[in-house]
């Protein structure tokens, strides 16, 4: 269902993010993210330069290489377009993510290694969505873990409610599941 018709307005900014997942021949996975910001008019950033209409202000790419348990084995970063001379210095700290796992606490992991002035706001925003892209790319992620616990996506949104019809139909063993009581 589309959005309702808007009031009269003028376009000012477009951000496009794209995520792609690849299964590699060596058993690893590549998850790629791209962020591109444009404006439909020419503009200047004082002390920097002039951008033409629809020329990317930000054009940034990340590739995370993951193993079968979603541990980051390699990080590649490219900044094709950026507004300020120091921006590319944020590429090197991205290597701190090697050895970390995409899963619960991913945003805290990003903040720990790249938060505040340690990294780039735009690269962090792109990283946020990469865990979901990795999850969607790996169909095996939908299988329950071998330890008998529920798959990590259950209980995380309305459709995957432990008490809802989707879990009842697709994961009947976890229908009305409750976490074990903590000692």
Q: Are 70 and 103 in contact (CB under 8 A)?
A: yes
> Is 6 inside any structural domain?
no
pTM: 0.84
Classify the C-alpha dihedral 149-153-156-158 as positive or negative: negative
The whole domain housing 165 covers 143-183
Indicate whether 135 and 149 sit together in one domain: no
Q: Total structural domains in the chain?
A: 2
Q: Do residue 126 and residue 137 come from a single domain? A: yes
Inter-axis angle of helices 121-137 and 106-114, nearest 10: 150
pLDDT tens-place string over residues 84-136: 999 999 999 999 999 999 988 999 999 999 999 999 999 999 999 999 999 88
DSSP symbol at 16: E
The DSSP secondary-structure symbol of 28 reads -
Residues 80 and 157 both lie in one domain: no
Strands 58-66 and 72-81 turn out to be antiparallel
- The alpha carbon of residue 71 and the mean position of all alpha carbons in its chain are separated, in whole angstroms, by 15
pLDDT score for 149: 86
Predicted pLDDT of residue 112: 96
20 and 109 part of one domain: yes
Query: Residue 124: which CATH number?
Result: 3.90.1010
pLDDT computed for residue 66 by the predictor? 97
């Amino acid at each position: 269902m589309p959005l309702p018709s808007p009031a009269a307005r003028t376009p000012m900014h477009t951000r496009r993010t794209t995520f792609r997942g690849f299964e590699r021949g060596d058993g690893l996975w590549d998850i790629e993210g791209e962020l591109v910001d444009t404006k439909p008019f020419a503009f200047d950033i004082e002390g920097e330069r002039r951008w033409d209409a629809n020329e990317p202000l930000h054009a940034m790419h990340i590739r995370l290489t993951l193993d079968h348990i979603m541990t980051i084995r390699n990080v590649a970063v490219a900044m094709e377009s950026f507004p300020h001379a120091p921006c590319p210095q944020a590429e090197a700290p991205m290597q701190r993510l090697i050895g970390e796992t995409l899963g619960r606490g991913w945003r805290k992991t990003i903040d720990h290694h790249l938060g505040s002035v340690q990294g780039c706001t735009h690269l962090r925003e792109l990283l946020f969505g990469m865990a979901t892209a990795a999850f969607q790319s790996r169909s095996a992620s939908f299988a329950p873990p071998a330890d008998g616990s529920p798959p990590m996506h259950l209980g995380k949104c309305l459709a995957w409610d432990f008490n809802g019809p989707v879990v009842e139909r697709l994961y009947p063993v976890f229908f009305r599941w409750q976490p074990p009581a903590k000692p």
